[in-house]
Amino acid sequence: MTTRAAIVSDTHVPSRATAIPDWVAEEIAAADHTIHAGDFDSVETYERVERLADGELTCARGNMDPAGLDLPAVATATLEEVTFVVTHGTGSPRTWHERVADAARSEAGSDAVAVAGHTHEVVDTVVDGVRVLNPGSATAASPATHETMLVATVEEGEVTVEQRTR
C-alpha cells in the first residue's frame, strides 16, 4: 500500500496572508494524510485545513497559534510503518536542526522522520541519523519568498519527498 502525505507549515492566515493558496488546498484535499507543523495563526485556518484533510490531520502548535487552538507541542503519525514526529521548532534558527532531530529522537527514536516549521525555509536533510523535513511556508509568509510545501510518498517503509513551489 502507498500513502501520500501533504506536509505544510507556517500558513500564517490571517496575520501574514489572506488565505491558503488554492494549489496548496488542492494538494491537501488529494492527500491520504496531512501534516501541519504549526503556525496556522487562527482557529479558522486550522478548521479549514482539517476539513480539507477530511480529518486525516496530524499537527503541532506553533508559536503564533492562538491560545484557543489546543494543539500539542509534539504529535506523531505512523504512516505505512514510518513514524513522523511533528513539532514547530520554535527557538533560535541557529540550533533548529539539532532541536528538531532531538525532539523526534526522544519521541520515537532515530528511525522517525522529523517534521517542523518555524524558519519558513525548505529543508530535507539528515541530522545525526534522523531525517528532518521543513516544508517552508505554504503562503510565502516572510521571510519566505515562495509558497512551498512537501509531498511525501510512503511505501513499504520507504519515504520519498517532493517539494512543491509556486
Could you state, in order of their start, the residue ranges of all structural domains in the chain?
Answer: 2-165
Q: Which of 156, 158, 138 is nearest to 59 (CA)?
A: 138
Element (H, E) at 99: helix 96-108
Residue owning grid cell 513499504: 156
The dihedral region occupied by 65, where left means phi > 0, alpha psi between -120 and 50, and beta the remainder, is beta
Q: Which CATH class, in words, describes the domain spanning 2-165? A: alpha beta
Average pLDDT, the chain: 97
Torsion of CA 82, 85, 89, 94, to 10 degrees: -50
Q: Positive or negative, the Cα torsion across 98, 101, 105, 106?
A: positive
Tens-place pLDDT, residues 8-67: 999 999 999 999 999 999 999 999 999 999 999 999 999 999 999 999 999 999 999 999
Distance CA 30, CA 27 (A): 5
161 versus 1: the higher-pLDDT residue is: 161
Asked whether residue 5 carries a pLDDT value surpassing 90, the answer given is: yes
3-class secondary-structure state, position 24? helix
State mean pLDDT over 121-143: 97
* Whether pLDDT at 110 is above 90: no
pLDDT at 109: 87
